Amino acid sequence: MSIFLDTGPEGRIELALVQRSLLLDKKPSILRWHMAYWVFSAIDLFLTIASFRIGGLEMNPIANWFYMQFGISALVVYKVMMVILITMQIGYIGKYKPLWAKRIYTFGIATLVLASTLSLCQTIWFIYEYGWSTFKSAIQLAL
């Protein structure tokens, strides 16, 4: 079903075609994917720091090297810089191939969710095993 607008003696315009052409002209945005990646990266960073405070390990060998050589602040800087670089690279890819950028973000977010879930499980196990007060004091002493 189409709706027609009477434009006078010149003719009529079909609204369905105008709306469809406006939708096709709009370029897909990957801003939501950028934001989701940043949110899940922040969650991963927070859980990684909490995991370190209770004796956990970093499974990424490069990030672990930064942690062992320079401490927790270097690990935070490394992770933030990696998120910025990845966001810039996928933003560039997204200008020309938005579908590829979304696929890369989907893989990256799935990886972050898996890593965060493992860190959260370790934290929950620690709280269950040693109690909330021990966990709270371990986090506060390290800060």
And the tokens for 11? 């003719």
Residue 106 belongs to some domain of the structure: yes
* Domain with 109 in it: 29-142
Residue 20 covered by a domain = no
- Higher pLDDT among residues 137 and 92, named by residue: 92
How high does pLDDT run on average in the chain? 84
Segment 8-66, tens digit of pLDDT: 656 555 555 545 555 555 566 789 999 999 999 999 999 988 888 888 888 889 999 99
Whether 13 maps to a domain, the answer reads no
Among residues 19, 54, 28, which one has the least CA distance to residue 126?
A: 54
Q: Look at residue 81 and tell me if it is in a domain.
A: yes
User: What's the number of domains the chain is made of?
Assistant: 1
Q: Is residue 8 part of a domain?
A: no
Q: For residue 138, which phi and psi values (nearest 5 degrees)? A: -65, -40
**Which tokens in the block code for residue 21?**
């052409």
The answer to whether residue 47 is domain-embedded is: yes
